[in-house]
Chains A and B, each alone.
Chain A
């Protein structure tokens, strides 16, 4: 079974830039997987940041951006703020209606 891989943890300084990635245990991520990124804070449901690789969800600031970098999907946060301290999940579409979440990245802003 294909595994969606993410960095378990990452840290960034306030005002800094960080790129989180989303890969596959076998193969490369492309736009055909329609990568989507979620942010989740403790006790809350996730919210969509980016869908279809690089489309920002309504109300999401432009310091969040999505792309394909090499063989992975990427979420870049530019000018990190304290409230970006959250868990981030990517999800990929595998075809035939099957969706797989990555294990998540715990981002610390410090």
Chain B
């Protein structure tokens, strides 16, 4: 059974870099059928797609975050990571990692999710 688990600091200071890792277990991150994505949700607000990565390293980023965002993959550890630089209070959110399809018809289908981790930007 596939499981995703986010890990990383729960507190980040303004202007610093938020770093999270998603560890994938029970399945291989190198499956050709899936991309691996990050989604966030500020407290009491809606969901926002951050970006996605394929096991080959191919990435797609939310244009509104692209200038501050790096998503990478480590196939040897079966995990992928998020780095968001120059954070502000507006980046405070629950961050989820999730798997989604690699084809158009299922690209939006985030079918497996981590439990989410709250990251607070706080000085």
Contacts and interface: CB of A to CB of B under 8 A. Distances in A.
Given A34-B105, A91-B108, A104 B46 contact: yes
B47 interface: yes
B48 A101 contact: yes
Interface stretch (A12-20, A45-53, A74-82): A45-53
Nearest to A36: B108
B52 A97 contact: yes
Interface in B52-69: 52, 60, 62-64
A51 B63 contact: no
Interface residues on A, range: 20 to 34
Contacts of A35: 108
B39 to A, nearest CB: 8
Interface stretch (B15-23, B24-32, B111-119): B111-119
B115 A45 contact: yes
Nearest to B47: A101
Q: Which 4 A-B pairs have the closest CB atoms?
A: A97-B60, A45-B113, A36-B108, A51-B109
Given A48-B111, A101-B49, A102-B46, 15 more contacts: A1-B64, A36-B109, A45-B115, A48-B109, A48-B110, A51-B105, A89-B46, A93-B108, A99-B49, A99-B52, A99-B107, A99-B108, A100-B49, A101-B46, A101-B47
Interface of B: 39, 46-49, 52, 60, 62-64, 96, 98, 104-111, 113-116
Interface of A: 1, 34-36, 38, 40, 45-48, 51-52, 57, 89, 91-93, 96-104
28 contacts: A1-B63, A34-B105, A34-B107, A35-B108, A36-B109, A38-B110, A45-B96, A45-B98, A45-B113, A45-B115, A45-B116, A46-B47, A46-B110, A46-B113, A47-B113, A48-B111, A52-B106, A89-B46, A91-B49, A91-B108, A93-B104, A96-B60, A98-B60, A98-B62, A99-B52, A99-B108, A101-B39, A103-B46
